[in-house]
Amino acid sequence: MKFPNPHTLKQISEIIDCQFIGDANFQVLGMNEIHVVEAGDIVFVDHPKYYDKALESAATIVLINKEVACPEGKALLISNDPFRDFNKLTQHFKPFVSSNSAISPSAKIGKDTIIQPNCFIGNNVVIGDNCIIHSNVSIYDDTVIGNNVIIHAGSILGASAFYYKKRPEGFDQLKSGGRVVIQDYVDIGALCTIDRGVTADTTIGEGSKLDNQIQVGHDTVIGKKCLIASQVGIAGCVIIEDEVTIWGQVGITSGITIGEKAVISAQSGVSKSLDGNKSYFGTPADDFRSKYKEIAAIRKIPEILERLKIK
């Protein structure tokens, strides 16, 4: 998430009331999670296990809960609770703004686009030309939808990320200030839920088709011409490359990549990155040939035990 205007390190420290290390005029351009940071961004880290990853990332401002040596060309914000203060920044730069109408006056809706009754279109939403938005669709603030997109009844675009920090008193949610971006010629079935990015975009690529009742987690990027069947659950920060086919009830864990033109059979559980141009099934999902060999070996166990006379 880029700020509307550049800020100085001192200005940011005053917003969250913390100390800083570095030039007071050090330029701060935005804030992002570790997987999408760029120069000028703030990234937060609150566990020693991830200190090095954050300090060595592309981010040039690190919001951290320990005073450490500041890498050359970077700056630090020292906080006793970086998670809380990252939320403060999201709240400051991207506060929730309520709507007083079903279609916000700030929404931009393209030529020949049809919006059926009982839809909600939030603040600063952009919808392109020749789209059909069926009844009871909710499109949260800042969502961007391309041309020739169809969204079926009951789908929700832009809900908050499922991202929590466990505290003694309960769970503290990381606020979502990102967007959902739907490119041209995408079809989204009924009752799908696509969460907004925490600081960046959750993206559905051009020409991709989603069946009914699909969950897409925060900051996930789905490529072009993908085909995803009903009841698939995709966690946050997943990269699905172009022309991937995912059949029904597949579950995909967070932070992995599925390569171009991969095919994943129904009810598979994907727990690691998968290479492209291969077919997979099972839990954990594996290459068809490897999985068939595994199943064949398992079927031979009773025969082997009988030979060994193990009752």
DSSP-based three-state secondary structure for 167: strand
Cite the DSSP H helix spans in the chain. 9-16, 51-55, 82-93, 288-299, 301-307
Question: Catalytic annotation on 35?
Answer: no
- CA distances (Å), origin 28, targets 214, 233, 283, 306: 37, 36, 44, 70
3-state secondary structure 77-129: EECCCHHHHHHHHHHHHCCCCCCCCCECCCCEECCCCEECCCCEECCCCEECC
Identity of the residue numbered 310: I
Choose, from 7, 134, 152, 218, the residue flagged as catalytic: 218
Are the C-beta atoms of residues 74 and 61 closer than 8 Å to each other? Answer: yes
End-to-end CA distance of the chain: 63
Nearest alpha-carbon partner for 250 in 218, 227, 224: 227
Which residues are registered as beta bridge partners of 167? 170
DSSP-based three-state secondary structure for 249: coil
Q: Identify whether 284 is preceded by a cis peptide bond (ω within 30 of 0).
A: yes
What are the residue numbers of the active site?
Answer: 218
